[in-house]
Amino acid sequence: MGAPAAARPLVVRDALLVTQDPGRRVVRGDLRVEGGRFVHVGPSAPRDGAEEVDGRGFAAVPGFVNAHTHVAMSVLRGIADDRELAGFLDVLFRVDARRTEADVEAAARAGVAEMLLGGTTSFLDLYYFEDGVARAVQALGARAFLGWAVLDADKTTQKGLPLDNAAAFIDRWRHHPTITPLVAPQGVYVCGRETMLGAKALAERTTGLVHLHLSETRREVHEHEARTGRRPAAWLEEIGFFGPGTIAAHAVWLTGAEIAALGKHRVGIAHCPSSNLKLASGGVAPIVELADAGAVVGLGTDSVASNNSLSMLREMHVAGLVQKNQRWDAGVVPAQRLLDLATVEGARLLGRADSLGSLEVGKRADFSLFRLDHPTLVPARPEAIVSHLAYSAEPEAIDSVFVDGRPVVRGRRLATADWTTIRAGAEAAAERLWSDRPS
């Protein structure tokens, strides 16, 4: 599973560069890519030996980082709508128990395709049969951080011990150039102390990352407090679980002390507003306070079973509206901050601030070209482009997407796979799951 053969250098000429660099510059200029990295960002890139792309009429934007999803649930879009989390999970757990690795792979291909077409080049996943997800990622050319779901042994439908399965998965994929495997304890409602600390120990001796769901609903918090006498985040700190490689999805129902603890340990937080709203989780994740305390906040879609979309453009829009409305403050989490959450902060959450999230020399060349003549990007002015990306742009405005400088989408079509074939596989996988789904 080594790196593919080196591609010809690539130059994108005269594009509007939304750099997301430390100065958040938006400038007209060129990009040059060699060996999968940017070697020039600015005016007049050398063009010797390079494939050239005319960037006039396009904005070059860093690839989005989806900080929490379950990509193989793409075939379950709409299967458990209009339920609160407990009822939603009841349906999903029963459906999941019947899934095979083959249908997980087929569904993951559809989900990865949807993300790439929406400008998402990196994503953090939590599921099982992650080898199938990894093969889908490899086939389509995305970048992925894949967490093998871990539960207590008496609560899982996996064959064998989940922690052993996670360790074997990590060992199989840890040297892949665009796939980072990791361990992912589902949450405190199915993982006790031994499982949580076992997951942390596995992370520490492998890829350094561990991903979980945390304090998504009041019910989760109250039930855990009734069992242990401690709220989930407080309990996890008490047992020594948290560290800078910890990434927690949701983090809605937190006390001030828990926020301080998450900040102290530099925990990553994947904010998933659309999923929380649709599942009626109540409340709004305190991302401003979390960031102020020292936590690293990114943005995630969650799965299409609870969000119904994998669009990071839509997620930026929703995140901004929710925070503004909740706080009665139109200036809180402004457009630039929303774009940060979807790019540089997502990269920082994954421990990849030095290689992902912006158009800068030395970083991996993951980026999209947005059509400036698309209706949702008019007026196409440099001073408005960040606002358009955060509040109005639609995925259809994206013409091309590159991962490591290699095209994965060109002219709104997948460059590495055939959508008709992907869709047929996904529909076949969905047929069995939907035909005998719980009522």
Per-residue model confidence as pLDDT tens digits over 383-418: 999 999 999 999 999 999 999 999 999 999 999 999
Residue by residue, DSSP assigns 14-53 as EEEEE--STT--EEEEEEEEETTEEEEEESS---TT-EEE
Instruction: Give yes or no: residues 379 and 396 share one domain.
Output: yes
pLDDT at 100: 93
Total of domains in the chain: 2
Confirm whether 419 is domain-assigned.
Answer: no
Confirm whether 2 is domain-assigned.
Answer: no
Q: How far is CA 155 from CA 160, 186, 191, 317, in A?
A: 12, 11, 9, 37
In 182-241, alpha helices (H): 193-204, 218-228, 232-238
Confirm whether 262 is domain-assigned.
Answer: yes
d(CA 369, CA 367): 7
The string of pLDDT tens digits covering residues 332-387 is 999 999 999 999 999 999 999 999 999 999 999 999 999 999 999 999 999 999 99
Instruction: Give yes or no: residues 56 and 108 share one domain.
Output: no
Instruction: Give yes or no: residues 182 and 328 share one domain.
Output: yes
Q: Could you tell me the two tokens for 164?
A: 């052993």
Instruction: Give yes or no: residues 111 and 159 share one domain.
Output: yes
Confirm whether 437 is domain-assigned.
Answer: no
pLDDT at 309: 97
* Beta-strand pair 246-250/268-271: parallel
Domain of residue 30, CATH code = 2.30.40.10
Q: 52 φ, ψ to 5°? A: -110, 140
Instruction: Give yes or no: residues 267 and 370 share one domain.
Output: no
Confirm whether 421 is domain-assigned.
Answer: no
Instruction: Give yes or no: residues 368 and 246 share one domain.
Output: no
pLDDT at 438: 66
Instruction: Give yes or no: residues 159 and 267 share one domain.
Output: yes
- Reduced to 3 states (helix: H, G, I; strand: E, B; else coil), residue 263 is helix
pLDDT at 246: 98
d(CA 88, CA 163): 25
pLDDT at 26: 98
Instruction: Give yes or no: residues 250 and 390 share one domain.
Output: no
- Amino acid making up residue 18: V
Instruction: Give yes or no: residues 122 and 35 share one domain.
Output: no
Instruction: Give yes or no: residues 297 and 152 share one domain.
Output: yes
d(CA 348, CA 430): 35
pLDDT at 95: 85
Domain of residue 70, CATH code = 3.20.20.140
Confirm whether 430 is domain-assigned.
Answer: no
Instruction: Give yes or no: residues 25 and 88 share one domain.
Output: no
Confirm whether 431 is domain-assigned.
Answer: no
Instruction: Give yes or no: residues 389 and 248 share one domain.
Output: no
Confirm whether 422 is domain-assigned.
Answer: no
pLDDT at 406: 97
Domain hosting 40: range is 10-62+357-414
List the chain residues with pLDDT less than 70: 1-6, 438-439
